[in-house]
Amino acid sequence: MSKELASKAAGSAKQAQVNSRSVATVPSVRGMSSSPPLAEAAYSPLTPITALPNKLDPADAELKTLIDNNQAWADAVTKEKPNYFKEMSLKQEPKILWIGCSDSRVPAEQVVQLGPGEIFVHRNIANVVHHTDMNCLSVLQYAVEVLKVEHIIVCGHYHCGGVKASLGTTQFGLIDNWLRTIKDVYREHQSELEAIEDTKVRERRLVELNVVNSAMNVASTTIVQNAWQRGQKLAVHGWAHNIEDGLINKLNLTLRDNSSLEKVYRLF
C-alpha cells in the first residue's frame, strides 16, 4: 500500500453529514454524484427499526419468529407490488459491490438504505481482502466481469472486534491467522500508530488503515486492473462506518485507475 495514499486517506476525515430520509425512500449513495442516481427501489420499507437489539425469544428453538417475519414481509411486499418477486427472480443488476465486516451491527443494505437487487455483498471478519482468498476473489470477479458493478465499496467500521483483537495478544483460535493481515498493516504504519497515545484513537486509525489496505488490495487484483485497462467504468471506495452514530465516514480514498498503486503492483 502506498503510505502517502494511506496518510491522505482516512485520518480524521470529517463525518459525513446526516441526510435525513425515511426508511421508505430510497436513495442515491452519498458522494457518488458523478454517477447517475440509482433507480428508485420498487418496494418499501426496509427492516423496521426496533428498540431491542435482539428480538429472538430463546425459547423459539425452531426459529418460528424468523419464518413468521419472512411471511409477513413477503405478504406486505406482494400486497404493495404484486409482481415484485416475479420480476426480481428474472435478473439482478446491482451497481455496487460491498465488501464489509461480518459484524451484525453493520448490515450493508440497511446502512445505505438499498434493497434487494441493488447491492452485491461480500462480508468477512474485519473486511480483509487478501490476494489468495478464493471466496473474496470469486465474488469480485463475478461482480466486475459478469454483473459489471460500477462501484466497489470497502467499508470497515469503528469498534471492529477483529481490528481490536489484532491489536492484542489474546488468542481466539483459527481467526488469529485471518487477522494476521491487520497486524501486517499495523507493522507497516507502526510509527504513525504508536505516536497516537489514546488507544481508542489508535484503534480507529487502524480501522481506517485496514480499509485502505483492503481497497488497495482490491485495486491490485488482475480483475480490477483488467477492467480498468479495457475501459470499464469502475471505482473503488474506502469507507468506515461509525456504529456510535450510524454515519459513514468517507475516507479520502476513491480509485478510478491503477495510478495510485505502487509500481510493482501495476499490471499495465
Query: Measured from the CB atom, is 182 or 261 closer to Zn ion?
Result: 182
Comparison of 101 and 235: residue with beta carbon closer to Zn ion: 101
Residues in the annotated binding site? 101, 103, 157, 160
- Using alpha carbons only, what angle is made at residue 122 by residues 213 and 41, rounded to the nearest 5 degrees? 120
Q: Does 203 help bind Zn ion (rule: CB under 5 A)?
A: no
User: Which of 101, 111, 154, 207 lies at the binding interface for Zn ion (CB under 5 A)?
Assistant: 101
Binding residues for Zn(2+): 101, 103, 157, 160
**Residue 100 bridge partners (DSSP):** 123, 155
Please compute Rg for the chain using Cα positions. Answer: 19
CB of 49 to Zn ion, least distance (A): 21
Residue 28 corresponds to which cell in the numbers above?
Answer: 442515491
What are the backbone dihedrals phi and psi of residue 254, each rounded to the nearest 5 degrees, phi first?
-135, 120
Closest CA to 240 of 213, 216, 204: 204
- 75 noted as active-site residue: no
User: Distance between CA 26 and CA 50 in Å, rounded?
Assistant: 20
208 binds Zn ion (CB under 5 A): no
Phi-psi region of 20 (alpha: psi -120 to 50; beta: other; left: phi over 0): beta
How do 235-241 and 96-101 pair as beta strands? unpaired
**Among residues 5 and 128, whose Cβ is nearest to Zn ion?**
128
- Active-site residue flag, 101: yes
Shortest distance, CB of residue 57 to Zn ion, whole angstroms?
A: 27
Residues 6 or more apart from 208 whose CB is under 8 A from it? Answer: 9, 10, 11, 156, 238, 240, 249, 251
Tell me which of 157, 204, 237, 241 is the catalytic residue: 157
Instruction: Give, as ranges, the residues between 162 and 201 that touch Zn ion (CB under 5 A).
Output: 162
Q: Is 131 annotated in the active site?
A: no
Q: Which stretch binds Zn ion (CB under 5 A): 43-51, 68-76, 103-111, 238-246?
A: 103-111
> Is residue 136 among the annotated active site residues?
no
Active site residue 60: no
Could you say which of 105, 131, 180, 245 is catalytic? 105
Q: According to CB under 5 A, which one of 1, 10, 96, 160 is a site residue for Zn ion?
A: 160
Is residue 103 at the binding interface for Zn ion, with CB under 5 A as the rule? yes
The residue among 177, 229, 245, 236 whose CA lies nearest residue 212 is 236
**Residues near Zn ion (CB under 5 A):** 101, 103, 160, 162
* Residues assigned a catalytic role: 101, 103, 105, 157, 160
